[in-house]
């Protein structure tokens, strides 16, 4: 079946540090890949996505590249701010429409200190 | 701006009560989902629906039911609330999963 594995947190950083959150997946075919962000007390918001190999998704200074050869979709940001403190979820959608469900990773909590 | 609206941000209910969690989307999406989120367990799918009056069990349907009488509304029902159903409940909708989901803000339910 499909699965998503992401690094466990919490990840604690200082402001302006470089952030990487690793995400690897297992899926048949060519899934679409997503990063969602959840700020404290809120629901999940789509941060970025990529629908095919070598695509790069980007938003709000965050980037992730769909690497089919390593089945990875690592999230990066060059200079984090306190406002980036949140939980980040990696997810995949299988190419087929059967099931119509996203598979989520367990989430990674990021804490950015001033 | 497209929206998924969950009727309550916070709820406190007593053990044994019947609880209704409401979710409405204004995007004409066919697919709707209910998840619960617990520390250390991530997101777990309770039920989902592909269309009006259609429903499918997710990974943890026990103790829950759902209703979808209209396309825009997907209700989660706790038939007899128990303390182990204290959780954050998240509703989501999608037109096509390849474009992702839109989530509501969540309902934090406490059962006492």
Hey, which residues 3-42 in chain A have their CB within 8 Å of chain B?
32, 34, 36, 41-42
Backbone dihedral angles phi then psi of residue A84, each to the nearest 5 degrees: -85, -5
Instruction: Please write the tens of the pLDDT for every residue from B56-66.
Output: 999 999 999 99
Whole-angstrom Cα distance, residue A105 to residue B86?
22
Chain mean pLDDT for chain A: 92
Closest CA–CA distance from residue B97 to any residue of chain A (Å)? 6
Closest CA–CA distance from residue A114 to any residue of chain B (Å)? 25
Backbone dihedral angles phi then psi of residue B58, each to the nearest 5 degrees: -95, -140
pLDDT at B1: 65
Q: Which residues of A touch B42 (CB under 8 A)?
A: 89, 104-107
Instruction: Please write the tens of the pLDDT for every residue from A2-46.
Output: 899 998 889 999 999 999 999 999 988 788 999 999 998 889 999
Contacts of B15 (CB under 8 A, 6+ apart): B81, B82, B83, B111, B112
Instruction: Please write the tens of the pLDDT for every residue from A40-97.
Output: 888 999 999 999 899 999 999 999 999 999 999 999 999 999 999 999 999 998 766 5
Q: Are A61 and A79 in contact (CB under 8 A)?
A: yes
pLDDT class of B82 with cuts at 50, 70, 90: very high
């Amino acid at each position: 079946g499909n699965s998503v594995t992401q690094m466990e947190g919490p990840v604690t950083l200082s402001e302006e540090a470089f952030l990487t959150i690793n995400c690897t997946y297992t899926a048949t075919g060519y899934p679409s890949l997503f990063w969602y962000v959840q700020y404290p007390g809120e629901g999940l918001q789509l941060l970025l996505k990529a629908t095919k190999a070598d695509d790069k998704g980007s938003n709000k200074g965050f980037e992730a590249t769909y690497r089919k050869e390593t089945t990875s979709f690592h999230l990066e940001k060059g200079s984090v701010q306190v406002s980036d403190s949140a939980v980040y979820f990696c997810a995949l959608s299988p190419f087929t429409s059967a099931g119509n469900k996203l598979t989520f990773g367990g989430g990674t909590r990021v804490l950015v200190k001033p | 701006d497209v929206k998924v609206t969950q009727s309550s941000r916070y709820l406190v209910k007593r053990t044994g009560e019947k609880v209704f969690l409401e979710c409405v989307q204004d995007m004409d999406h066919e697919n709707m989902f209910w998840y619960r989120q617990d520390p250390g367990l991530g997101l777990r799918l309770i039920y989902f629906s592909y269309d009006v009056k259609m429903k499918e069990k997710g990974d943890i349907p026990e103790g829950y039911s759902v209703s979808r009488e209209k396309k825009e509304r997907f209700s989660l029902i706790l038939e007899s609330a128990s303390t182990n159903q204290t959780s954050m409940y998240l509703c989501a909708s999608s037109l096509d999963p390849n474009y992702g989901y839109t989530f509501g803000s969540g309902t934090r339910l406490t059962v006492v």
